Amino acid sequence: MTWILWALLVCTLPLPYFMIETGRVPAAQLFLFTALTVPLSVTDPGFTTRFVAALFTVQALLAGALLYLLARWIAARIDGWMPRRGRAPAVAAVAALLVALALSDVYRAPLSHGPGLTNIFGVFAHGR
């Protein structure tokens, strides 16, 4: 249950990030930015490339760890409050809440969408 909750949180929960511009995106996008910039820091070992890769890497690792701790805490609360048969519906309710949040305009993704608020589709889409 912890890993399912962690994956849901990574894919949907808006988290702040700091780069050239700031924004709120899911940790999944930070992981994607890290996966794109780290290989560039090897092929183009300039200061700026390494700095950007390091910032994305630190933010992605921190977000992943904090979301894992949050998922563990939520899973422990569900285990403690719910009988075994009620756990799956409780996780489904948390998932539905996170998906509803992701479909709302709660993200600000200037590196992929633009200056305004957007939903999960705008976070991973280029342009408006």
Q: In whole angstroms, what is the distance from residue 25 CA to residue 43 CA?
A: 27
DSSP designation for 24: E
Q: Which domain holds residue 59?
A: 2-124
Domain count of the chain?
A: 1
| Residue 37 parent element (H or E) | helix 27-43
Beta bridge partners of 18: 22
Cβ 2 vs Cβ 79: under 8 Å? no
- The per-residue pLDDT for range 34-88, each reduced to its tens digit, is 999 999 988 988 898 899 999 999 999 999 999 999 999 999 888 888 788 888 8
Q: Read off the pLDDT of residues 78-126 as tens digits, 9 standing for 90 and up.
A: 888 878 888 888 889 989 999 999 999 999 888 777 778 888 888 887 6
Helix (H, G, I), strand (E, B) or coil at 77: helix
Enclosing H/E stretch for 3: helix 2-12
Query: What 3-state class would DSSP assign to 115?
Result: coil
Three-class SS state of 17: strand
